């Protein structure tokens, strides 16, 4: 498995809406827990989860070539 640094630095949205929400909720939860436990590790992990959830871009996904972004095809057609 090769690692391409150019892929990691290329900013492309690679996360779907559900995953963004999960990351935001998990990050906020970890931030709140870190306030009460005074844990720097939880604070850093929470900040990373919030930043990737907010931006919609995960550098690890870019490096691995993974993409969970929904195409959006059929989502509105199924609801109608």
56-76 confidence digits (pLDDT tens): 888 887 777 778 877 554 444
Q: Note the pLDDT of residue 20.
A: 87
How far is CA 72 from each of CA 14, 52, 54, 60, rounded to the nearest angstrom? 14, 21, 19, 23
Q: Note the pLDDT of residue 78.
A: 47
pLDDT, tens digit (0-9, with 9 covering 90-100), for 9-61: 667 778 888 888 899 999 999 999 999 998 899 999 999 999 988 888 888 87
Q: Note the pLDDT of residue 75.
A: 45
For residue 1, being part of any structural domain is answered with: no
For residue 75, being part of any structural domain is answered with: no
Q: Which backbone phi and psi does 12 adopt, to 5 degrees?
A: -130, 140
For residue 18, being part of any structural domain is answered with: yes
**How many independent structural domains does the chain possess?**
1
**Domain membership of residue 25 as a residue range:** 13-39
């Amino acid at each position: 498995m090769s690692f391409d640094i150019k892929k990691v630095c290329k900013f492309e949205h690679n996360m779907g809406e559900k995953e963004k929400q999960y990351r935001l909720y998990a990050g906020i939860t970890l931030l709140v827990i870190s306030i009460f436990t005074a844990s720097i590790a939880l604070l850093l992990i929470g900040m990373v989860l919030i930043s990737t959830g907010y931006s919609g871009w995960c550098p690890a996904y870019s490096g691995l070539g993974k993409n969970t972004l929904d195409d959006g095809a059929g989502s509105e057609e199924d609801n109608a």
